[in-house]
A and B are shown apart, each in its own frame.
Chain A
Amino acid sequence: MLDFSAAEIEAVRLSLRVAFWAMAGSLPFGLATAIVLARGRFYGKSLLDGVVHLPLVMPPVVTGYLLLLLFGRNGPLGRFFDETFGIVFAFRWTGAALACAVMGFPLLVRAIRLSLEAVDRRLEEAAGTLGARRIFVFVLVTLPLIAPGIVAGMVLSFARSLGEFGATITFVSNIPGETRTIASAIYTLTQTPGGDVGALRLTLVSIALSFVALLAADLLARRMGRRLSGD
């Protein structure tokens, strides 16, 4: 039963790579967006909030198709990235990571934003009276206080990426060894006669990975919570 084929192992490794880069790549943008939404006061804030949350409510196929239009080989942004940084998204694993990042973005931003809103601003004021300018206040006080929220957001983004299917397959298709993640592989196997066992194996792997991610997040959050409560 647990006799993985090379293609299945390839799918698992690819999924982990895609999920990792989706999470890591979107983190700086997620943090910046959360700060703007939690602290900023500007015209059009609710519009930004809406745009960030769109991938959560739109059909994933729509998100994938929009990505294809924008980041495809002839899309405006796709051409820009290719010419400026030499990064191609269309039909590559990088494109799968981008799709996953976009789909996980609302979850990432939401988790960080909630923890930012829970930060006691009076602690930041106290740091200011002690001589710390804003950037130091952020790094030395705010960031450590929202660390549990950041970790939670990263885990959500990672887990969402492992499960992402619709946007990925629409944007970068289902190419073995390049864009065939666990989800796409299971889909393919269920469409193939005699693929049931393989599909089941990958399903178990998928469940195990999600479980490990949640346990790790819980452990980290608890450790940080203990630190903050005084032990």
Chain B
Amino acid sequence: MLCIFRCFSLALLLLCLAAGVRADDILVADAYARCAFLAKSGLANVRIDVAEPVTQRKDLPPFCRVTGQIAPSIGFEMRLPMQGWNGRFLLAGCGAYCGELVPDREGYANSINFALRRGYAATTTDSGHQAPRTDTSWAYNNPQAETLYAHAWVPLAADASRAILHNFYRQKESWSYFSGCSNGGRTALKVAQMYPDLFDGIASGAPGINATYAAGVLGVFLDRTLVDKSGNLILREEKVPMLSQAVLYQCDSLDGLTDGLVSDPGACDFQPESLLCRDEGDTSTCLTAAEVEEVNRLYAGAQDSQGQQVYFGLPKGSEAYWTRWLLGETASGVPHVTDLGSNFLRYLGFEQDPGPGYHSSEFDLDGDIPKLESAARRFNATDPNLGKLQQSGGKLLMYHGLADPLTVPEESITYYNSVVNHAGSADQVSDFYRLFLIPGADHCWGVTGRAPDLFDPLQVLEGWVERDEAPERIVARQHVAVAGPEPAGPIMRTRPLCPYPAVARYRGEGSYFDADNFICQPASDGQGVGAE
């Protein structure tokens, strides 16, 4: 190691070579110098606070770590491999309301380390403001920060990253990608719509496309549905394992394969009344009338005073994840989505922010939705015209868990259908835009291990972008242990994900735990996954 630092001069370099130091080490030594030099590179619009080699991380290859701020206010961290760069660049989206730099976030959603390990140079940002990711008060009377968060941070961060990348490697990247999930998935769609030339490939996971609905209307609905008048959760997480298993027992076989998965939630007609408590005794293994009512309301979704559907309900088969997203308590004892609607409406949803005094209980689902129009224009990624992306040769991979209880899969399905309608036919879009629904999958791999749901979206995009291999199927893995976003335990099964509207069907022979024995087929009548 000491030698590395002394190798800067050619003479010493030769000495090192003579001393048997590997050529790789010398490249790293050169990278040390270039990494440190980045701090002095004087890029316009970029303030670099730290530029340092990081070589002691056991879980990561040696990389040059660059942190700082991109004008006007975008905090960022970029990681550039010091050896074995694969010529690619990734810009990661950020989740929820962003505001934090989480460069060591694991998994595939809004993270960069999985790409860094494969040789990517990658950047993650806070989208232009600094606040906890569930906080919205930064947006109070701050349209500039809102526009940055909505989409405008992306070209700024992409340009700055490219300049750093070029300074470091002395060459341009061969391929560039954007990948994000949840809000990052929404941002990815905005990029596809507004900045179609910026990336070669875009991965959009579980996007809250209609943010004003996915955060606003759904938020109002959840604020009203999950808690009673005293603000206490009605359905508590203790009941979730029972509810989840009851749905599985009833609906596992409806998709034609008994495999421990509810692959076709649309076909599942589970009624929570079947678990209704019959007497006043112990209610730990049954549902009270209030709990049954809540579960029914969650499945039904938001309605106006006339009983008209205003927004989608939660998917059957998503119950196991309710604990994670809806009912589980945070360390402070507050349910995860407390005031989801209020937080959005106070500072983001209306043209004039009503501020901290506002509560979602004031929101009138009959008449107030049009008041979210200006926010919709800013945040929502509903433009069905992807013609420019097609012209620029970009590829858009969209994926969504069919058991996502936080951003329902209908968001992606509806958008996909709108793009197809706008283009005229599915054939018109399938060469640059495909949607993959993931049976049994949670929101952005929040909890994995329950379904074959794990895959690397960048690997799919690489094949599509770089080798023109349009994804006919994506082989997803299910690991054994139920865990967070990182796979744990051995692989228990593989299963293909299919381009919507096709679904994976078992061939009828061979192990049904092996993706090889499934084919992607058009959904038959009444069995369309996500068919509404």
Partners in one complex: no
Write the residues of chain B forming the contact surface with A, with a CB cutoff of 8 angstroms: none
Write the residues of chain A forming the contact surface with B, with a CB cutoff of 8 angstroms: none
